[in-house]
């Protein structure tokens, strides 16, 4: 077994590998860019080596620097994680040539399966079901349109070296095929250094289901059941679960057998994943093979009890798998939510900045310890006070739960999301909560078009369902009442000026457009500390909580049922507001006396300023293109500028017709949030 390994990655996956290595008694070496000097994975590792500037092209993607770091520190092996160089055959080959073990498949297998065009040919030879399409690299957008017409729309345009949703477009007509080809090529060149693109038939109403494999150097390959990855936004996975609520035992066995046959055809060693697209009739077709550890690997670890990182290390060290296919069991149900630094209420724009608060829910399952089941696990590479950088992807944590069955897992996940406190940046937690509560998700009736179908016009606060909105009002009144009780208990108050607790309150739920809602509330302390009965709209809420007043995450019971919610004092616009959040729904509430509520009704509403004449940068990022000039007539929907942030291009469009008065930012400039790029006359 290795004595020391280097992790050629960053963020949560670097921390994940370190956890298993430490349990196995293996010393670890981290590498870091300038942006990650104070990152969590650097602090966790036994040693750390600086490898360059913030840009991944000058640090995490430079194979020579990483191999030099391994040599310098005496690391015997390198674990690549996922992304970056994890599926780079040249890097794997260089490791072998330099006498450093690559903890992953041999470079020949990466070459065969990492290239989507070559892998489809090999899959066909191994008698694996494949999708109709043209598997040769396409040279021009005109040729792409011609091929797409021949296959029949819709088609999928994909970069050969793509992954993570980058370099992928779905085209429904000639115009989309022409534009999609150019976009795919650009994204692929920037992200992977390989601009080859191919086209295949797009299966409508598809499921995205993948088979997890483990192979060793002795010819043994087993599959570890499947993962359901159909809940995707812009081709990037949002929620993953294992097993799938859709496929039958017969389909599972058939998919597993084909995945194993393909792996054996390329003498696959290590963990790997074969991805399939599955039709509504359970017909399935090979998509690609990921020759690395997947982001969503924890859900497989939960249902099988196997540490995949451990077995990657053991296989790389030459060990034989000690279990056969018949030994692989399936226990319970696991779900993973990707917690991303993005604002779901602003079209999921990346959100960067400092994590003022980062408090995950209480965890009972842990990385590298698969003996703990039926609980909550958090995989993350950040910590409170850390910086979310514009240089890397937006995922800041993975929230994983393991339940007895699917409904139990959904319930566990909803409660875990309620207790996940993130402040300083925006996160997609409200969106995740809405997805988990959607009837089609709960019933298991969905496909890869689920988010586009139900949230095609964006995500809004009213899209978050809540079974009992009055509970949020009652909770705001409860917290305010307990705050008043504490204030009234302070000694030394002047007679006549002491704090009065009172029983009658009014809760005003504020609306951005001025359509505020007023609720008359009665509060009875019920004679117990941390207890009160709140009456809202003729409904009683007996709330008990021992949480402190300065806690953001509040745990307790309401009418005897447990709950977790978040309550925070003050907002950017009003320091008196209580922000209450539960199951993804948030209200901004003023809890005041009935007389103050009457006066508040008389206050004029101040509408926000009209910014429709300006195109503003919605996020920090690099301005890579300005598509208009002064004096140009622009129509609504026309491309105005392109901003690059978190490895993705974000196109800004004109909201209405107009003439460009001035261009106030230059190509190559680093932008701040709400910086003006273009002004219209």
pLDDT (0 to 100) of residue 550: 84
Average pLDDT over residues 409-423: 96
Average pLDDT over residues 22-51: 96
530 phi and psi, to 5 degrees? 70, 20
Average pLDDT over residues 654-675: 90
DSSP 8-class letter at 255? H
pTM, rounded to two decimals: 0.83
pLDDT (0 to 100) of residue 610: 76
Average pLDDT over residues 481-500: 76
Percent of the chain with pLDDT over 90: 66
The torsion of the CA quartet 434, 440, 442, 445, rounded to 10 degrees, works out to -140
Distance CA 207, CA 647 (A): 26
Distance CA 74, CA 51 (A): 16
pLDDT (0 to 100) of residue 165: 65
647 or 292, higher pLDDT: 292
pLDDT (0 to 100) of residue 560: 92
pLDDT for residue 153 is more than 80 = yes
pLDDT (0 to 100) of residue 163: 64
pLDDT (0 to 100) of residue 489: 72
pLDDT for residue 573 is more than 80 = no
pLDDT (0 to 100) of residue 47: 97
pLDDT for residue 526 is more than 80 = no
pLDDT (0 to 100) of residue 255: 97
> Tokens 């003439």 appear where?
659
Strand spans (E) along 166-255: 166-171, 197-201, 207-215, 221-233, 236-242
The active-site residue out of 89, 288, 296, 301 is 288
- Three-state secondary structure call for residue 362: coil
Q: Which candidate, 220, 198, 44, 51, places its Cα nearest to that of 130?
A: 198
Degrees to nearest 5, angle at CA 173 with 167 and 174 = 85
152 or 22, higher pLDDT: 22
Strand spans (E) along 292-391: 333-340, 342-343, 349-350, 353-354, 357-359, 376-380, 387-388
Q: Which candidate, 346, 406, 355, 400, places its Cα nearest to that of 376?
A: 400
Paired with 579 in beta bridges are 568, 588
pLDDT (0 to 100) of residue 164: 60
Domains of the chain: 4-103 (3.40.50.20), 133-201 (3.30.1490.20), 208-463 (3.30.470.20), 469-491+498-601 (3.30.700.30), 614-680 (2.40.50.100)
431 phi and psi, to 5 degrees? -65, -45
DSSP string of 83-124, one letter each residue: STTTT-HHHHHHHHHTT-EESSS-HHHHHHHHSHHHHHHHHH
Distance CA 299, CA 239 (A): 11
Most confident of 87-101, 479-493, 508-522: 87-101
pLDDT (0 to 100) of residue 24: 97
Degrees to nearest 5, angle at CA 168 with 281 and 629 = 140
Q: Which two tokens stand for residue 124?
A: 């066909």
The pLDDT tens digits for 422-441 are: 999 999 999 999 999 999 99
pLDDT for residue 648 is more than 80 = no
Average pLDDT over residues 442-455: 93
At residue 120 the predicted structure's pLDDT band, cuts being 50, 70 and 90, is: confident
pLDDT (0 to 100) of residue 248: 94
The pLDDT tens digits for 98-117 are: 999 999 999 999 999 877 77
Distance CA 110, CA 441 (A): 35
The pLDDT tens digits for 327-379 are: 999 999 999 999 999 999 888 888 888 999 999 999 999 888 888 889 999 99
DSSP string of 484-550, one letter each residue: HHHHHT-S-PPTTSSPP--SEEEEEE--TTS--EEEEEEEE-TTSTTEEEEEETTEEEEEE----TT
Degrees to nearest 5, angle at CA 466 with 465 and 468 = 155
List b or e across 138-161, with b for residues whose CB sees 16 or more CB atoms inside 10 angstroms. Answer: beebeebbebbeebeebbbbbbbb
What is the rounded radius of gyration, in angstroms, for the C-alpha atoms of the chain?
27
- Three-state secondary structure call for residue 635: coil
The pLDDT tens digits for 541-570 are: 999 998 988 899 999 999 999 999 999 988
- Sequence-distant (6+) residues with CB within 8 A of 163 are 83, 87, 192, 290
Q: Which two tokens stand for residue 615?
A: 């195109």
Question: In the annotation, is 288 catalytic?
Answer: yes
Average pLDDT over residues 406-435: 95
Q: Which candidate, 201, 193, 194, places its Cα nearest to that of 177?
A: 201
Q: Which candidate, 115, 113, 116, 111, places its Cα nearest to that of 199?
A: 116
pLDDT (0 to 100) of residue 527: 65
Percent of the chain with pLDDT over 70: 98
The pLDDT tens digits for 312-334 are: 999 999 999 999 999 999 999 99
Q: Which candidate, 338, 358, 342, places its Cα nearest to that of 421?
A: 358
pLDDT (0 to 100) of residue 289: 93
pLDDT (0 to 100) of residue 162: 66
pLDDT (0 to 100) of residue 681: 86
- In whole numbers, what is the pLDDT of the chain averaged over residues? 91
pLDDT (0 to 100) of residue 654: 87
């Amino acid at each position: 077994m290795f004595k020391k390994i280097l992790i050629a990655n960053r963020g949560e996956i670097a921390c994940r590998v370190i956890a298993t290595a430490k349990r196995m008694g293996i010393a670890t070496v981290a590498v870091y860019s300038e942006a990650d000097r104070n990152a969590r994975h650097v602090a966790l590792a036994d040693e750390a080596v600086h490898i360059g500037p913030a840009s991944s092209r000058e640090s995490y993607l430079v194979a020579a620097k990483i191999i030099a770091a391994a040599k310098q520190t005496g690391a015997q092996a390198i674990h690549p994680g996922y992304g970056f160089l994890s599926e780079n055959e040249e890097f794997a080959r260089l490791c072998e040539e330099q006498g450093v073990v690559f903890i992953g498949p041999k470079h020949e297998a990466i070459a065969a399966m990492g290239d989507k065009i070559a892998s489809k040919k090999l899959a066909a030879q191994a008698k694996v079901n494949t999708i109709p399409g043209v598997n040769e690299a396409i040279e021009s957008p005109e040729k792409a349109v011609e091929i797409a017409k021949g296959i029949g729309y819709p088609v999928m345009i994909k970069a050969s070296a793509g992954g993570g949703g980058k370099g992928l477009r779905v085209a429904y007509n000639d115009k989309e095929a022409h534009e999609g080809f150019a976009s795919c090529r650009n994204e692929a060149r920037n992200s992977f250094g390989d601009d080859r693109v191919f086209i295949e038939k797009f299966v409508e109403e598809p499921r995205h289901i993948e088979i997890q494999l483990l192979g060793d150097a002795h010819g043994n390959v087993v599959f570890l059941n499947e993962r359901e990855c159909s809940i995707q936004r812009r081709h990037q996975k949002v929620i993953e679960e294992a097993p799938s609520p859709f496929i039958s035992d017969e389909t599972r066995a058939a998919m597993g057998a084909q995945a194993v046959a393909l792996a054996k055809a390329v003498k696959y060693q290590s963990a790997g994943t074969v991805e399939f697209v599955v039709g509504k009739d359970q017909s399935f077709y090979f998509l690609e093979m990921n020759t690395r550890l997947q982001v969503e690997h924890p859900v497989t670890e939960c249902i099988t009890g196997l540490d995949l990182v451990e077995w990657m290390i053991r296989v790389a060290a030459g060990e034989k798998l000690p279990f056969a296919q018949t030994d692989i069991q399936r226990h319970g149900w696991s779900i993973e939510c990707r917690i991303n630094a993005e604002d779901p209420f602003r079209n999921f724009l990346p959100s960067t900045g400092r994590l003022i608060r980062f408090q995950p829910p209480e965890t009972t399952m842990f990385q590298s310890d698969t003996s703990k089941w039926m609980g909550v696990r958090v995989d993350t590479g950040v910590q409170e006070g850390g910086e979310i950088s514009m240089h890397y992807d937006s995922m800041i944590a993975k929230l994983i739960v393991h339940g007895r069955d699917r409904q139990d897992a959904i319930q566990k996940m909803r409660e875990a999301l309620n207790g996940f406190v993130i402040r300083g940046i925006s996160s997609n937690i409200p969106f995740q909560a809405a997805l988990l509560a959607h009837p089609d998700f709960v019933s298991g009736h969905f496909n890869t078009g689920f988010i586009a179908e139900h949230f095609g016009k964006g995500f809004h606060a009213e899209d978050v369902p809540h079974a009992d909105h009055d509970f949020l009002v009652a909770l705001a009144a409860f917290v305010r009442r307990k705050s008043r009780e504490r204030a009234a208990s302070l000694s030394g108050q002047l007679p006549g000026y002491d704090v009065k607790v009172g029983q009658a309150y009014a809760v005003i739920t504020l609306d951005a457009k001025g359509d505020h809602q007023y609720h008359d509330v009665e509060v009875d302390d019920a004679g117990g500390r941390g207890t009160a009965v709140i009456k809202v709209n003729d409904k009683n809420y007996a709330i008990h909580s021992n949480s402190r007043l300065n806690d953001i995450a509040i745990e307790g019971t309401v009418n005897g049922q447990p709950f977790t919610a978040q309550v925070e004092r003050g907002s950017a616009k009003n320091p008196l507001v209580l922000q209450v959040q539960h199951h993804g729904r948030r209200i901004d509430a003023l809890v005041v006396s009935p007389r103050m509520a009457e006066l508040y009704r008389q206050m004029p509403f101040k509408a926000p300023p009209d910014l429709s004449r300006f195109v503003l940068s919605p996020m920090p990022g690099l301005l890579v293109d300005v598509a208009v000039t002064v004096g140009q007539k622009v129509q609504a929907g026309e491309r105005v500028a392109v901003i690059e942030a978190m490895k993705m291009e974000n196109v800004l469009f004109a909201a209405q017709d107009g003439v460009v008065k001035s261009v106030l930012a230059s190509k190559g400039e680093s932008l701040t949030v709400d910086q003006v790029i273009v002004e219209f006359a």
